[in-house]
Structure 1
Amino acid sequence: MAEIQLRNVGKRWGDYVGVDNFDLTIADREFLVLLGPSGCGKTTTMRMIAGLEDATEGEIVIDGKVVNDLEPKERDVAMVFQSYALYPNKNVYENIRFPLKVRKVDPATHDARVRRASAMVELDDFLHRRPAELSGGQRQRVALARAIVREPNVFLMDEPLSNLDAKLRVSTRAQIKNLSHELAVTTIYVTHDQVEAMTLADRVVIMKQGVVQQVGTPVDIYDRPANAFVAGFIGNPAMNLIEGVVSGGTFRAERTEVAGLSAPQGAVTLGFRAEDAQVVDTGGQINAPIYTMELLGDSTMVSVRINGALVSVKADKTFRGRIGDPVSIAVPAAQCHLFSAISGERIHA
């Protein structure tokens, strides 16, 4: 197994900074998710670990060994790509077996290893088929089995679910979660989908424009986002963010007044989660007309507009209203987060 250290790793192309001063230790058998919007540097970071990109600065250490100058095949990592990269002329069995042939593994062990890997991803009934005869979810499982069969020290997964439909994403995500537990191999997983990150990860690294914004468990990041960017990126829906001013412990913005806050005076961004507020008859901290409603089954998402931003709250599933109806929203001060209006950093009361 392998611990991975990224020691002040950076990647630059001329003046463009792809990854800046990435410094992190990934524990043996940890499932780490790199999360962020397109272009934030998460895939570049993974490719540097794999050896597909050269680090401009810093050291990459796998299992105590600096690997910056090693070829990808010498790093004992297996990578699952967004595109399945299967051989169309080979059946599933041979696609899974291929890494063993390339690495000149004892042929006498091939069949047992291929069948063990295929069983883990429930492909035993499809070993004779070619990729063109498989669904997207089945092809992705072949790609997973091909990585598993190598028994590597490190798994690298680059947005492996992005080509699947919503239902398949849920089932395959569950399969990856179970596999990570069963295989107990250090795994680095890249995604822009925060639901994947929150459900799969032991720890999440959130990136923006090549810079790490926060590292923590999913609960840590959800409950105490380090800055307004993280707050607005994590959660479904994301945290509500309202720009306003604090004076005398009270936050004020358009149609909004939240008292009882412990914060310095001045311009701030107030945040709260949709599930931490509620629709009330009267006396709420936000009073505005309904902008839109969404029936979610277990609840009703009610949204209003404050300072041009959409602010959402989860109401009871029995809530009934129409667009334009006035609504009062209770926002408990204890559930509020405050961020600097200038830097976006969290204000620690």
Structure 2
Amino acid sequence: MAEISMKNVSKRWGRVEGVKDFDLEIADREFLVLLGPSGCGKTTTMRMIAGLEDVTEGQIVIGGRVVNDLEPKDRDIAMVFQSYGLYPNLSVYENIRFPLKVRKIPAAEHDERVRRAAEMVDLTALLDRRPAELSGGQRQRVALARAIVREPTVFLMDEPLSNLDAKLRVSTRAQIKNLQHRLKTTTIYVTHDQIEAMTLADRVVVMSGGIIQQVGTPTQIYDNPANTFVASFIGSPAMNLVSGRIAGGVFEAENIRVAGLPTGHDGPVTLGFRAEDVTLTPQAAEISAPVYALELLGDASMVALRVGEDLVNIKAAKDYRAQIGDSVHVTLPAGVCHLFDAETGARLTPDA
């Protein structure tokens, strides 16, 4: 069993606080993604789990054992980094085998374990090659196989797809998801890419400034963001956020008026809605504004409008056409709207 418990974990370097009161329970076999922008503390959190960074305060427990004072080699974890870290003078076979030699696994087991790991990531035909003869995607698969061959209780993956092009990212992402399902190993994955987080994770931990902003399934975080930071970070495009005022359940700002919203929050608020939850219409509606830009995406058209002081995106049919400056109308039902506190950014509307 490889449950991981992080109890009020903090990391400081002098006055600089990289992670603040990180408190989280990670279930056995769970695929957990730490998501956030650069400098948010996600990699530092992973490095503390790995033992590569000391914990300033708090406790980390892996499989019922406190590991704060254990060396990385004694934590039974395997890491996959952004840089492949392969030995250029060794073959693929020897690169995969290397952790077994270091950990003094009986030599009689090496060949079977190396070939089994290589087969899982489709490297069997490449075992005799050197890293220089491989593509970026193949090198990343060698790094994955090297982690798999260890048969650890926990996998830690730090932005492993960052060096791959868009097409390889998609295929390797699917491979990682399938591998974790087959291996049933607790996995913690660090990324700044919200698409990776949404497609891979059982649960996502959204971080900013070293603090957990929200923890939940991808659906929970997408449908019910805890604050404007999460709302603006999750989704492609991100949730539209419009500053305005609400009174008696009616939100108003320049070019927008939405009635039927929850009462009890009179005053300045931020209203949020997703691009796919609204509809362009020929009649006057909740939003009436000029077209700021039009982007053709292949499967859809993205229409940008200036609403108050904010730009909002509207997802339209792929054959929709308009000129910059054209006045358009958008139906915005109250039921798809989210309200956030204008000062703190905290969610005001209840979860759907």
Is residue 16 of structure 2 the alignment partner of residue 16 of structure 1?
yes
Query: Which letter does structure 2 place at the counterpart of 1:64?
Result: G
The within-5 A match list for 1:31-180 is: 31-180=31-180
Q: Distance in 2 between matches of 1:283 and 1:298?
A: 26
Deviation at 1:319, TM superposition (A): 1.0
Q: SS state of the match for residue 342, structure 1?
A: coil
In the alignment, is the contact (CA less than 8 A) between 2:243 and 2:309 conserved in 1? no
Q: Deviations over 1:88-126 (max 9, x none)?
A: 111100000000000000100101100000110001111
Q: SS state of the match for residue 343, structure 1?
A: coil
Q: Distance in 2 between matches of 1:142 and 1:68?
A: 30
Q: Distance in 1 between matches of 2:206 and 2:35?
A: 5
Q: Distance in 1 between matches of 2:285 and 2:165?
A: 40
Q: Distance in 2 between matches of 1:348 and 1:297?
A: 34
Deviation at 1:307, TM superposition (A): 3.2
Q: Distance in 1 between matches of 2:164 and 2:308?
A: 37
Deviation at 1:323, TM superposition (A): 1.3
2:322 corresponds to which residue? 321
Q: SS state of the match for residue 115, structure 1?
A: helix
Q: Distance in 2 between matches of 1:161 and 1:318?
A: 34
Q: SS state of the match for residue 188, structure 2?
A: strand
Percent identity over paired residues = 70
Deviation at 1:286, TM superposition (A): 1.1
Deviation at 1:7, TM superposition (A): 0.6
1:286 corresponds to which residue? 287
Query: Which letter does structure 1 place at the counterpart of 2:62?
Result: I
Q: Distance in 2 between matches of 1:74 and 1:169?
A: 32
Q: Distance in 2 between matches of 1:37 and 1:310?
A: 22
Deviation at 1:309, TM superposition (A): 2.4
Deviation at 1:308, TM superposition (A): 3.5
Q: SS state of the match for residue 339, structure 2?
A: strand
Q: Distance in 2 between matches of 1:278 and 1:131?
A: 51
Query: Which letter does structure 2 place at the counterpart of 1:273?
Result: R
Q: Distance in 2 between matches of 1:248 and 1:25?
A: 41
Q: SS state of the match for residue 177, structure 2?
A: helix
Is residue 303 of structure 2 the alignment partner of residue 298 of structure 1?
no
2:331 corresponds to which residue? 330
Aligned length: 349
Query: Which letter does structure 2 place at the counterpart of 1:117?
Result: A
The TM-score normalised by the length of structure 2 is: 0.98
Q: Distance in 1 between matches of 2:8 and 2:118?
A: 38
Q: SS state of the match for residue 238, structure 1?
A: coil
Q: Distance in 2 between matches of 1:151 and 1:292?
A: 51
Query: Which letter does structure 2 place at the counterpart of 1:282?
Result: Q
Q: Deviations over 1:9-40 (max 9, x none)?
A: 00001111100000011000000000000000
Q: SS state of the match for residue 29, structure 1?
A: coil
Runs of 5+ consecutive residues of structure 2 not aligned to the other structure: none
Deviation at 1:297, TM superposition (A): 2.0
Query: Which letter does structure 2 place at the counterpart of 1:287?
Result: S
Q: SS state of the match for residue 212, structure 1?
A: strand
Deviation at 1:275, TM superposition (A): 0.4
In the alignment, is the contact (CA less than 8 A) between 2:262 and 2:349 conserved in 1? no
1:212 corresponds to which residue? 212
CA RMSD, Structure 1 to Structure 2 (Å): 0.8
1:266 corresponds to which residue? 267
The TM-score normalised by the length of structure 1 is: 0.99
Runs of 5+ consecutive residues of structure 1 not aligned to the other structure: none
Q: SS state of the match for residue 175, structure 1?
A: helix
Q: Distance in 1 between matches of 2:146 and 2:164?
A: 18
Deviation at 1:306, TM superposition (A): 2.2
Deviation at 1:330, TM superposition (A): 1.1
Deviation at 1:52, TM superposition (A): 0.2
Q: Distance in 1 between matches of 2:138 and 2:308?
A: 47
Q: Distance in 2 between matches of 1:254 and 1:90?
A: 64
Q: Deviations over 1:274-329 (max 9, x none)?
A: 00011111222111111111112221111112233220011112211111111111
Runs of 4 or more, structure 1, over 4 Å off, are: none
